[in-house]
Amino acid sequence: MERTHSLRSFSDDELFRRLSDLLGQSRRDEADLVAHIAEVDWRRLYAREASPSMFAYCTEVLHLSEAEAYLRIAAARASREHPLLLTMLADGRLHLTAIAKLAPHLTVENREALLKRAAHRSRRQIEELVAELSPRPDAPAVMRKLTVDRRLRPDGVAAREPELRLEGSAGAGFELRPHGAAVLPGSRPAVVEPLGAARYKVQFTASAELHDKLERLRALMRPSVPDGDLAAIVEQAVTEKLQGLEFHHRHPFGRGGDHSVANVSLACRCHNGYLAEVDYGREAIARHRRPGTRPSKPTPSPSP
């Protein structure tokens, strides 16, 4: 509380300056910390503290979290072969996560070009870069039940239905769970994971209703997607949704056509607009679309 009150006495400009200075110092301290970990690891000094490994020393003696220990040890070991990593960590061009993900792919031959591309990239951008360097195969199209812990949740409610995991090929995956079901140990949050250049694996949690709709959609699209590939099905469905579908009257409504099923079909916005121009004329449709040009006398609006 005292620190918070003391900060309130600073002007906006001074607060920004101090924040920038602290961040720079923090990055320099982080690089020094990683360098020290690298040296202790190389000398195997963790054994002097009765630790079986550097990881155990970092977590049990230095009291770092498992994630903190992993990232710093990975960066420390990589920096022994590629010292530039410490410089880029100190000046903010690289963060620990970037170094840990890039380390297995760095060589003496590629490090200059690769690190230049990685500078100031986010974690997601680094993952895309790594996927480009080492692409992984497409996710197979499968749907299977996942193991469910039938024990009671903390609120006393038991898990009611098994989870479903639905994955599509071409790098698209879907994890579906009955709506309202408990988030069980081991469940995965929504993720978008690059598998290679312009290829991704997508996982998310959805309702059982969505699972049923996807199954119905897969059945309806068998003529265009005979193998039922989920990635192709979802891509087509999303593309059509982005394009937009509209009702088209085979016999124009403005010329006496009705709303019967036999007289109505679906068309994308672009195609529907073209058919409207065919039925009513381009100039009439242009006048209809322009605001303030519609006649004051109530008349049926041109509609496809």
| Pair (221, 276) in one structural domain | no
- By mean pLDDT, which of 92-96, 180-184, 289-293 is the weakest? 180-184
In a domain, 67, yes or no: yes
Please check the confidence at residue 93 and state whether its pLDDT lies above 90.
Answer: yes
What percent of the chain clears pLDDT 90, i.e. is strictly above it? Answer: 40
pLDDT mean across residues, the chain:
79
In a domain, 302, yes or no: no
Domain housing 199:
142-147+159-232
| Pair (249, 222) in one structural domain | no
Q: 23-34: per-residue pLDDT in tens? A: 999 999 999 999
| Pair (41, 85) in one structural domain | yes
In degrees and rounded to multiples of 5, residue 263 shows phi and psi of -100, 0
| Pair (129, 164) in one structural domain | no
Which of residues 52 and 181 earns the better pLDDT score? 52
| Pair (47, 79) in one structural domain | yes
Q: 139-187: per-residue pLDDT in tens? A: 655 555 545 555 545 555 444 444 445 444 344 444 333 334 334 444 5
- CA distances to 162, 222, 248 from 304, rounded to whole Å, are 47, 30, 5
- By mean pLDDT, which of 112-121, 144-153, 173-182, 209-218 is the weakest? 173-182
Give the position of tokens 């004051």: 296
In a domain, 153, yes or no: no
In degrees and rounded to multiples of 5, residue 175 shows phi and psi of -110, 115
- CA distances to 5, 97, 232 from 122, rounded to whole Å, are 33, 9, 29
| Pair (32, 101) in one structural domain | yes
Regarding pTM above 0.75, the answer is no
Please check the confidence at residue 303 and state whether its pLDDT lies above 50.
Answer: no
| Pair (46, 81) in one structural domain | yes
pLDDT confidence of residue 1: 60
| Pair (21, 108) in one structural domain | yes
pLDDT confidence of residue 177: 39
| Pair (96, 168) in one structural domain | no
- By mean pLDDT, which of 2-6, 208-212, 232-236 is the weakest? 2-6
Structural domain total, the chain: 3
| Pair (282, 191) in one structural domain | no
pLDDT confidence of residue 48: 94
Rg over CA atoms, the chain: 30
| Pair (6, 128) in one structural domain | yes
In a domain, 35, yes or no: yes
CB-count burial class (<10 Å; 0-12, 13-18, 19+) for 50: exposed
In a domain, 282, yes or no: yes
In a domain, 21, yes or no: yes
pLDDT confidence of residue 185: 43
In a domain, 294, yes or no: no
Please check the confidence at residue 44 and state whether its pLDDT lies above 60.
Answer: yes
Please check the confidence at residue 196 and state whether its pLDDT lies above 80.
Answer: no
In a domain, 198, yes or no: yes
- By mean pLDDT, which of 35-44, 77-86, 98-107, 282-291 is the weakest? 282-291
pLDDT confidence of residue 184: 44
Average pLDDT over residues 209-232: 81
pLDDT confidence of residue 300: 46
279/212 Cα distance (integer angstroms): 39
Average pLDDT over residues 52-76: 96
Q: Which of 232, 255, 273 marks a domain boundary? A: 232
Minimal CA–CA distance to 204: which of 177, 231, 181, 236?
177
| Pair (80, 177) in one structural domain | no
169 secondary structure, DSSP code: S
Query: In DSSP terms, which residues pair with 192 in a beta bridge?
Result: 202
Q: 221-246: per-residue pLDDT in tens? A: 888 888 778 888 888 888 777 667 77
